[in-house]
């Protein structure tokens, strides 16, 4: 399928070993290797990608460091298989319901919260005056102890005063909103993009530098269309894919 033949680019600002590490990760996520399967020998990979064996070794070293591969002298290099999580997004997406069946344990950790004046984008999305106070929550989604998302969420401070405490206590946006009389809500719009992870993402998501994150910018609304929440979420592209299902 895709990504087998295509060659490697030089002099682009992305080192060859990083590009090759990306390829291998992609192949694993694609299911090209079975659980605990052996990677082709270093010489074979070097030939396939048209680079020196040492360059392949650098790529493998990075993935070993990352816990994706395990190298054994004399035997080979093996895939410790981390399949990609498939994360559904749609009108009724909730974090905890989204990953059902794929992981056994999941929750949202509140990293920090603060109060700040609303910028242009946030004010427009929440339908409040620019400069009005908003509460900002920094959270991390975890599944089976592994970080799978990193989000920044804004609420109208007037309407949702104290939501950071509710969030810290319940570990759930849905449960926290219930305390403010909101029993159901919908995702109104989602904008999707991708970029290199920044320093904050790297630390929070336990990523290796150079990793790519999928970014969603979403507005949640009540059933009658009133905006309640504005959020930017980052997902590590190497561990998560986003899934849109018809009818969601």
Partner DNA sequence: TAAATTTGTCTATTGATATAGACAACTATA
Partner DNA sequence: TATAGTTGTCTATATCAATAGACAAATTTA
Chain residues that interact with DNA, rule: CB under 7 A? 11-13, 15-18, 39, 41-43, 50-52, 54-55, 57-58, 60, 71-77
- Name which of 52 and 189 has its Cβ closer to DNA: 52
Q: What are phi and psi of 167, to 5 degrees?
A: -65, -45
Distance CA 239, CA 90 (A): 19
Number of other CB atoms surrounding residue 13 within 10 Å: 6
- Name which of 171 and 227 has its Cβ closer to its own copies: 227
Residue 181 interface partner, choices DNA, its own copies, none, CB cut-off 5-8 Å depending on type? none
Residue 62 interface partner, choices its own copies, DNA, none, CB cut-off 5-8 Å depending on type? its own copies
Number of other CB atoms surrounding residue 149 within 10 Å: 25
- Name which of 139 and 171 has its Cβ closer to its own copies: 139
8 A C-beta contact, residue 187 and residue 91: yes
Residue 75 interface partner, choices its own copies, DNA, none, CB cut-off 5-8 Å depending on type? DNA
Residue 77 interface partner, choices its own copies, DNA, none, CB cut-off 5-8 Å depending on type? DNA
Tracing tokens 């150079």 back to the chain, one arrives at 210
- Name which of 38 and 91 has its Cβ closer to DNA: 38
Give the three-state DSSP class for 76: strand
Closest approach of DNA to the CB of residue 83, in Å? 22
8 A C-beta contact, residue 231 and residue 154: yes
Closest approach of its own copies to the CB of residue 77, in Å? 19
CA angle 31, 239, 186 (to 5 degrees): 115
- Name which of 12 and 73 has its Cβ closer to its own copies: 12
Residues across the chain: 248
Query: What residue ranges bind its own copies (CB under 8 A)?
Result: 1-3, 6-15, 17-19, 21-22, 26, 29, 62, 84, 86, 89-91, 119, 121, 152, 186-196, 198-200, 202, 208-210, 212-214, 232, 237, 241-246
Of residues 137, 204, 145, 217, the one with CA closest to residue 177 = 137
Closest approach of its own copies to the CB of residue 39, in Å? 19
- Name which of 91 and 175 has its Cβ closer to its own copies: 91
Tokens of 118: 């609303």
Distance CA 112, CA 95 (A): 19
């Amino acid at each position: 399928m895709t990504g087998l033949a295509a060659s490697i680019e030089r002099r682009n600002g992305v080192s060859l070993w990083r590009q090759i590490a990306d390829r291998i990760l992609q192949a694993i996520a694609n299911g090209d290797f079975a659980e605990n399967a052996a990677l082709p020998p270093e010489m074979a990979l070097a030939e396939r990608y048209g680079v020196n064996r040492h360059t392949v070794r650098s790529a493998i070293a990075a993935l070993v460091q990352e816990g994706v591969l395990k190298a054994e002298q004399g035997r080979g290099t093996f895939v410790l298989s981390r399949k990609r999580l498939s994360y559904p997004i749609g009108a009724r997406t909730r974090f905890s319901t989204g990953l059902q069946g794929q992981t056994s344990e999941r929750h949202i950790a509140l990293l920090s919260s603060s109060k700040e004046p609303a910028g242009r984008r946030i004010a427009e999305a929440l339908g409040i005056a620019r400069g009005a106070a908003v509460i900002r929550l920094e959270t991390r989604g975890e599944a089976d102890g592994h970080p799978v998302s990193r989000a920044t969420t804004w609420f109208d401070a007037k309407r949702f005063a104290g939501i950071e405490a509710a969030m810290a206590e319940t570990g759930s946006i849905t449960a926290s909103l219930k305390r403010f009389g909101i029993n159901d809500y919908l995702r109104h719009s989602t904008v999707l993009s991708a970029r290199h992870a920044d320093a904050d993402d790297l630390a929070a998501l336990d990523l290796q530098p150079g990793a790519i994150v999928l970014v969603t910018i979403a507005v949640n609304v009540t059933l009658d269309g009133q905006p309640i929440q504005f959020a930017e979420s980052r997902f590590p592209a190497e561990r998560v894919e986003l899934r849109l299902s018809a009818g969601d």
